[in-house]
Amino acid sequence: MNTLSDHFEFLQRRLEPPAERAAMAAEFPLRVREHLQESMEIATVEPHSRLGGSYARHTAIRDIRDVDIVLFVASDYQGTLPETVLGCLSDALRGLPEVLGDVGTVELRAQRRSVNVKLTNLNFSMDIVPAIATQGLDAPLLIPDKDWRKWIETHPLGYAAMLRDLNAVHHDKVVRLIKVIKHWRDVQVAYMKPKSYWLECAVYRLIDSSIVQTDGISQAVLMRDMLQGMLVHLSPSLSIPGAVPEIRDPALGNNVAAKWDRSAFESFMRTLDESAELAECALNEGVDDVEAIKLWQRVFNADGNDWFPTRPDGRAYELRAAALAGNVFVETGTGRVRTARPTRPHFQVPSHRYYGKRR
């Protein structure tokens, strides 16, 4: 008979990206990074680039649809306008279709602080952000902001290191919880979802400050405590007309949620309150296992998919683990997954435990 822990473990495993998406996230950004390092259109400096975003922090869930790349450019660019360096980056990326091979349509789109590369046929994209490391990689970086027409500070590598350290102290529970919280957001919030990074920062703060404890706490209780902790932490802003909550960036201290739409914030809080109550009811001593699972299903299955099934199939774990660890090949033109090396253009899924590269 499955226990509640089995159900949460099943959910956790289902949130891990499938083999073919993991392969895309490992292979395509690597090709882009190598191409930019050799490009004559933009001047890069050691270490040339690093992976960024949720993929690099191992907090991405399900289908990985985008990967961030931090591109270290020469300090001379600091004296130019943001649109100038973004233009150079766009020029350097125009040769990507040849580099990436048979992937279908490759679209380039200049954004406020980056250039987006979209592989339309594969529903996969990469955001390349130029950055200047004025004081080394351990200090905040400067990135261009086209709307503000200036270079601004950010510290993605610093936050990634802080999250990695906090996660280690709490025996991997922080990253696992972030993934579950992001999934909960995806299935419960239909429109104007809060950004994933806001949720990451909220989880980080509540655990780092010991408001939410992890030692000896089960996944079910930890999820309940985090929902309640977020409710308590964010609720005071509801009593202030027009206000939105402060969710501080762990590395820089600025409020990452400063531009949260008030109506979207209010809607999110109603959803958060409902889910926190369901979680509390599910953990009530008077609730049997069957009823508890039904309550958790209302928290995690709201998008119509059976993410938190009544009877988890342990064999699904084994199949997913085998696919991630074994010889799996993905055809670049079709996205089909093969267990034998195909004759069509393809790439091989790297054999590793994680779906990202730390470098």
The reply to whether 23 and 163 lie within a common domain is no
Rounded-to-integer distance, Cα 38 and Cα 40, Å: 7
The reply to whether 112 and 196 lie within a common domain is no
Domain assignment present for residue 356? The answer is no
The reply to whether 295 and 251 lie within a common domain is yes
Task: Tell me the per-residue pLDDT of 101-136, one tens digit each, with 9 for 90 and over.
Answer: 888 889 999 999 999 999 988 889 999 999 999 998
Domain assignment present for residue 353? The answer is no
Rounded-to-integer distance, Cα 27 and Cα 354, Å: 14
pLDDT of residue 337: 54
The reply to whether 172 and 107 lie within a common domain is no
Rounded-to-integer distance, Cα 114 and Cα 270, Å: 34
Rounded-to-integer distance, Cα 293 and Cα 355, Å: 30
Rounded-to-integer distance, Cα 49 and Cα 280, Å: 45
The reply to whether 253 and 177 lie within a common domain is yes
Contacts of 328 (CB under 8 A, 6+ apart): 19, 20, 23, 337, 338, 339, 348, 349
Domain assignment present for residue 3? The answer is no
Please say whether the beta carbons of 118 and 103 come within 8 A.
no
The reply to whether 298 and 323 lie within a common domain is no
Structural domain containing residue 64: 19-156
The reply to whether 295 and 183 lie within a common domain is yes
pLDDT of residue 33: 94
Residue type, 34: E
Confidence label for 100 from pLDDT (cuts 50, 70 and 90): confident
Residue type, 221: V
Q: What CATH code is carried by the domain that includes residue 107?
A: 3.30.460.90
The reply to whether 170 and 139 lie within a common domain is no
CB half-sphere exposure, 80, CA atoms < 13 A: 15
pTM: 0.82
Domain boundary among 115, 130, 156: 156
Cα separations (Å) of 185 from 61, 198, 227?
Answer: 12, 11, 11
Domain assignment present for residue 171? The answer is yes
Residues paired with 152 in a beta bridge: 143
pLDDT of residue 319: 42
Share above pLDDT 70 across residues of the chain, in percent, rounded to a whole number:
84
Confidence label for 305 from pLDDT (cuts 50, 70 and 90): low
Domain boundary among 104, 135, 156: 156
pLDDT of residue 256: 94
Q: Which residue has the higher pLDDT, 324 or 148?
A: 148
CB half-sphere exposure, 193, CA atoms < 13 A: 14
Domain assignment present for residue 33? The answer is yes
Task: Tell me the per-residue pLDDT of 146-182, one tens digit each, with 9 for 90 and over.
Answer: 999 999 999 999 999 999 999 999 999 999 999 999 9
Domain assignment present for residue 359? The answer is no
- pLDDT at position 28 over 80: yes
Domain assignment present for residue 4? The answer is no
Confidence label for 6 from pLDDT (cuts 50, 70 and 90): confident
Confidence label for 349 from pLDDT (cuts 50, 70 and 90): low
Number of domains in the chain: 3
pLDDT of residue 312: 66
- The size of the chain, in residues, is 359
Lowest mean pLDDT among 221-235, 258-272, 313-327, 333-347: 313-327
Please say whether the beta carbons of 157 and 70 come within 8 A.
yes
Domain assignment present for residue 10? The answer is no
The reply to whether 265 and 172 lie within a common domain is yes
* CA of residue 215 relative to chain centroid, distance: 25
**Within 10 A of 327 (CB to CB), how many other CB atoms are there?**
12
The reply to whether 305 and 259 lie within a common domain is yes
The reply to whether 178 and 200 lie within a common domain is yes
Confidence label for 358 from pLDDT (cuts 50, 70 and 90): very low
The reply to whether 85 and 172 lie within a common domain is no
Angle at 304 between CA 18 and CA 21, to 5 degrees: 15
First-to-last alpha carbon distance for the chain, in angstroms, is: 42
pLDDT of residue 326: 52
Nearest-10 Cα torsion for 16, 279, 173, 322: -30
Q: Give me the mean pLDDT over the 45-67 stretch.
A: 90
Confidence label for 316 from pLDDT (cuts 50, 70 and 90): very low
Task: Tell me the per-residue pLDDT of 192-248, one tens digit each, with 9 for 90 and over.
Answer: 999 999 999 999 999 999 999 999 999 999 999 999 999 999 999 999 999 999 999
- pLDDT at position 140 over 80: yes
pLDDT of residue 329: 60
